[in-house]
Amino acid sequence: MLVTRFAPSPTGRLHKGHAFSALTAWTAARDAGGRFLLRIEDIDPTRCRPEYETAILEDLAWLGLDWDGPVRRQSDHRADYAAVLANLDERGLLYRCFRTRKDILNAIGDAPHGPMEAARPGPHPADDEARRLDQGQAFAWRLSLNRARAALSEATWNGLAFDEEGRGPEGQHGVVPVRPEAAGDVVLARKDAGVAYHLAVTHDDALQGVTHVVRGQDLFEATHVQRLIQTLMGWPAPIYRHHRLLTGPDGRRYAKRDRSVTLAELRAQGVTAQALRAELGFSSVG
C-alpha cells in the first residue's frame, strides 16, 4: 500500500507552495487507495511555535484535506532520535563539532568550495575536544563520510542510489546515484536541539512505513544524505517523487517571507478553498 506524508515545520503560516505540496501528496495517497500521514517537524526550538502548528491543522482542513491516524509531532519523540544517534555513535560514525557557523565559514574562506552545508570540518584534535568538553561547551554531532564509507562495503557505497518517480531540479528521474560528498559531514544533532532534520526525517519515514516521499524539489539534494542514513541504519528505501516548486507572479518560488500568499491571508481576501485547489490544478478534490 502506498503510504505518504506531508511534513511541515511550524515556523510560519502555510503558503500556496505548501498547499500545492500537501495536495500533491494527498492526491497521490487517495488515488492509490493509500495512506496520507501528517507529521509536524518541530524539532527546531528557536523557530517552531505551537500556534503555527494549530494554524497548519486549520489550513489543511480548510483546504479539504484529511489525514490517516494521529498527527506525529517530532518534539514528542526526542528519545527515539537520541537512540539512533547513540547507535551511530557506538559504531564510530559520528564526531563532535564545537565550531560555530562563523568558524566554518571562516575556514572555508575564499576557496571555491561548495555551500556551507557541504562542510567537512572533521573531528577536533583529542586534547582540544577534551578541553572543550571540560569547559562544558555545546557541540553538534556530525556524520563522518569517511567513517560511513569505511563502515559499508565498497559495493554498497558505490551502489547507493534512490528511485525518483518525479523530477529533480535538473530533470533527474529514475535511478539517481547518491553523491554523499555533496552534502558533506552533515549535522545529525544540532547544538541546541539534540537532533537535526536529516536524522528525524529518515527515522520517522522508516518508523511510519512511508513508501513514497512526495515533496518539493527544494529537498532533492537532501535525499542524497537521507539515503545514506537509511542505508547505515538498515531502513527501507522509500520511492521519491519530488515535485516542481510553485513560483509567484515574479517568477520566484513562494517562501514563508511572502506574507501575502499565506493561506490565511487568501482566506481573509475571500478566496475559497475550491478556487485555490482549482488554481493549483486539483479541481477534483472535495
Active site residues: 256
Nearer residue to ligand GLU within complex by CB, 8 or 184: 8
**Interface contacts to ligand GLU, rule CB under 6 A:** 7-9, 41, 201, 215, 219
d(CA 226, CA 143): 11
Residue carrying the nine cell digits 559504531 = 91
SS3 42: coil
Nearer residue to ligand GLU within complex by CB, 96 or 199: 199
Q: Which amino acid is at 102?
A: K
Nearer residue to ligand GLU within complex by CB, 38 or 85: 38
What Cα–Cα distance (Å) separates residue 64 from each residue in 58, 90, 97, 129?
10, 46, 44, 52
d(CA 65, CA 185): 37
d(CA 237, CA 278): 33
65 touches 26 (CB < 8 A): yes
User: Minimal distance in Å, beta carbon 128 to ligand GLU?
Assistant: 34
> Residue 250 corresponds to which cell in the numbers above?
515574479
CB-based burial of residue 157 (10 Å sphere; 0-12 exposed, 13-18 middle, 19+ buried)?
middle
**Crossing angle, helix 50-63 and helix 16-31, to 10 degrees?**
60
Nearer residue to ligand GLU within complex by CB, 40 or 95: 40
User: Minimal distance in Å, beta carbon 215 to ligand GLU?
Assistant: 4
Nearer residue to ligand GLU within complex by CB, 5 or 124: 5
User: Minimal distance in Å, beta carbon 28 to ligand GLU?
Assistant: 13
User: Minimal distance in Å, beta carbon 41 to ligand GLU?
Assistant: 4
User: Minimal distance in Å, beta carbon 150 to ligand GLU?
Assistant: 28
